[in-house]
Amino acid sequence: MKCPNCTQDNKESAKACRKCGRDLVIPPAWFPDFKWHAKTLGILYAGIVVFYLGVTFALRKLPKPYQLRQIPPQLTPWLKG
Ligand SMILES: [Zn+2]
C-alpha cells in the first residue's frame, strides 16, 4: 500500500510508513476541501443576509417612534453638551 503522506510503497501489513513513519493503520482523516468551504461559507452568508433582511423588515414594521433611524435628542437628555 502507498503511504498517503509521501507515496512510499510499504508492505500491506506495515503499521507505519518506512520512509516518513506515518501511521498507516488509521485511515486518513476527512479534510475539508475548497468545495466544502465554498458551500459552507455560502450557506452561512445566505443565512446572515436573510437574517439581516428579516431584522430590517421587522424593525420597519415597529410602531412609531421605534422605527426611527435617528433618536430624537429629547430621548437622550444626558447626552446634551
Ligand atoms: Zn510515508
- Distance in Å from the first CA to the final CA of the chain: 78
Q: What is the pLDDT of residues 20-35, one digit of tens each?
A: 988 888 666 788 899 9
For 44-61, what is each residue's pLDDT tens digit? 999 999 999 999 898 888
Domain ranges of the chain: 1-29, 34-69
Task: Please work out, in degrees rounded to the nearest 5, the angle formed at the alpha carbon of residue 50 by the alpha carbons of 49 and 52.
Answer: 65
| C-alpha 30 to ligand 1 mean position (Å) | 18
Residue 4 Cα, ligand 1 centroid: separation in angstroms?
A: 7
For the ranges 21-25, 36-40, 63-67, which has the lowest average pLDDT?
A: 63-67
pTM score: 0.43
Q: How far is the CA of 73 from the centre of ligand 1 (A)?
A: 70
Please give the distance, rounded to the nearest whole angstrom, from the Cα atom of residue 24 to the centre of ligand 1: 9
d(CA 17, CA 24): 7
